[in-house]
Amino acid sequence: MSNNYIETEPTFKAMNGSIRIGRIFGIPIYINLSFLFILLLFVWVFSQGDEIFGVRIGFLNLDASAEVKYLFGGATAVIFFATILAHELAHSYVAIKYGVKIRHITLMIFGGVASMEEIPSKPGQELRMAAAGPLTSLVIGIISYLMMIVVGGLGSSSVGVEGIEILLGIIGFYNILLAGFNMLPAFPMDGGRVLRSFLSTRMSHVEATKKAVAVAKVMAIAMVAFGILVGFNPILIIIAIFVYIMAKDEERATVISANLEGVTVRQVMTDAVQVVHPDTSVQQLMDVMLATRMMGYPVVDNGLVGIVTLSDTKKVPKNETHLRRVRDIMTVDVVTITPELPATDAVKIMGQRSISRLPVVDFSGRLVGIVTKKDFLKMVQIIEARKVVPVWGQPGWDQFQYQQRPPPPPPPQV
């Protein structure tokens, strides 16, 4: 089980195929369909499990019928996933205290995922938020163990009491395992976040992220090696791949937001926008696409009325492109931004809504430009490339601060 927070541009979308089961601290709680599969797997694992390090982690040796074992296995699995939810709620509780909005918590195949608007970037805050989950699991684990010892001390021979004793042992064992596993320094798992916040106290946030990601990649490779060589463990291998992809995603997001600091949308946007009219036929639209080689266009009729992209044209059968109009296929519910918006906020909006193109409108609602995800990535590459490493006393060192900044914005053109 791993527990991760999804930041901007999630690789794994948590909302697809999920059912909402309730709300805690005002946070909607979802169950992913993949989770039901893992729940059944755990019912089976618990009902058939034997013992490890002298602690019973299954109901195999319980002197009862198979039905009773499965019943206990089922109850244990449900309680275990409630403790995973408690782990996620602990992260969320701390995050809410630091003013971070939690969109939802989803229980899925890898355990829990708390989806946050952003991760607190102050080292101390991230540390407390990341550590809260494993700490909660550890406390639940220790309490369960103590309760198991108390119940065992009753000396009862009834199947019910013995079953509860085993149940407490399983909950204790898996919660302590969960706490330990999550504290591995495999960013963006909890331990990796603790590592990054520790590194952030001695270097920049970007450098700390890059170092934590480098460690995470080594950990991921080690997990795959372990999962193949030391007893085949497909779940560990899947988690390793998940860690690798998520670590790279978050490294990229951190590099982008660090380099775009101080940049506004106006500096990145294309202001000579090719627009189309809603009454343009789909065939004409495709001719425009061929001529300008752009993938999407704002639709304008006395102001912005929609946006139309290459994928919208695919909804129209080939022999109807002359008959159908742009207004039939365009997206009308358009998210717009202003030229003064910080570039980092625009990237965040694109990530959260999974859109790659945003029209830019001024305060009066007039279209003044368009900006794509690619524009931001190009800007980041250029800013990275023109960064100057200052040498004390050498010509230009005193201009370092100036050189790091992007050029002043061009005058607005309409």
Give CA separation, 265 vs 341, 372, 410, in Å.
6, 10, 12
Could you say which of 7, 88, 126, 251 is catalytic? 88
Rounded to a whole number of angstroms, the minimum distance from the CB of residue 3 to Zn ion is 3
Binders in 352-391 for Zn ion, by CB under 5 A:
none
Rounded to a whole number of angstroms, the minimum distance from the CB of residue 131 to Zn ion is 9
- Map tokens 């684990």 to a residue: 141
- Residue 126 touches Zn ion, criterion: CB under 5 A: no
Between 56 and 193, CB nearer to Zn ion: 193
Between 105 and 347, CB nearer to Zn ion: 105
Rounded to a whole number of angstroms, the minimum distance from the CB of residue 20 to Zn ion is 21
User: DSSP of 10-41, one letter per residue?
Assistant: -SS-SSTTEEEEEEETTEEEEEEHHHHHHHHH
Between 77 and 116, CB nearer to Zn ion: 116
Rounded to a whole number of angstroms, the minimum distance from the CB of residue 228 to Zn ion is 26
Between 58 and 134, CB nearer to Zn ion: 134
- The question of whether 207 is a catalytic residue gets the answer no
Binders in 145-184 for Zn ion, by CB under 5 A:
182
Stretch that binds Zn ion, among 36-44, 186-194, 211-219, 389-397 (CB under 5 A): 186-194
- Residue 3 touches Zn ion, criterion: CB under 5 A: yes
Give CA separation, 196 vs 11, 94, 193, 212, in Å.
21, 18, 5, 6
247 and 188 Cβ atoms separated by less than 8 Å: yes
Between 131 and 166, CB nearer to Zn ion: 131
Between 116 and 166, CB nearer to Zn ion: 116
Asked if residue 185 has a cis previous peptide bond (ω within 30° of 0), the answer is: no
Number of residues near Zn ion (by CB under 5 A) = 4
Greatest extent of the chain over all pairs of C-alpha atoms, in Å: 85
Rounded CA gap, 188 and 3, in Å? Answer: 9
Stretch that binds Zn ion, among 101-109, 132-140, 227-235, 305-313 (CB under 5 A): 132-140
Rounded to a whole number of angstroms, the minimum distance from the CB of residue 27 to Zn ion is 15
For Zn ion, which residue of 10, 58, 73, 133 counts as binding (CB under 5 A)? 133
Mapped onto helix, strand or coil, the DSSP state of residue 412 is coil
Rounded to a whole number of angstroms, the minimum distance from the CB of residue 173 to Zn ion is 18
- Residue 123 touches Zn ion, criterion: CB under 5 A: no
Contacts of 230 (CB under 8 A, 6+ apart): none
Of 299, 311, 254, 242, the residue nearest 273 (C-alpha): 299
Q: C-alpha dihedral over 103, 23, 125, 175, to 10 degrees?
A: -120
For Zn ion, which residue of 126, 165, 190, 249 counts as binding (CB under 5 A)? 190
Stretch that binds Zn ion, among 12-20, 133-141, 295-303, 389-397 (CB under 5 A): 133-141
Strand partners for 22: 29
CA angle 206, 212, 215 (to 5 degrees): 145
Of 136, 98, 128, the residue nearest 197 (C-alpha): 128
Point out which residues bind Zn ion (CB under 5 A): 3, 133, 182, 190
Active site residues: 88
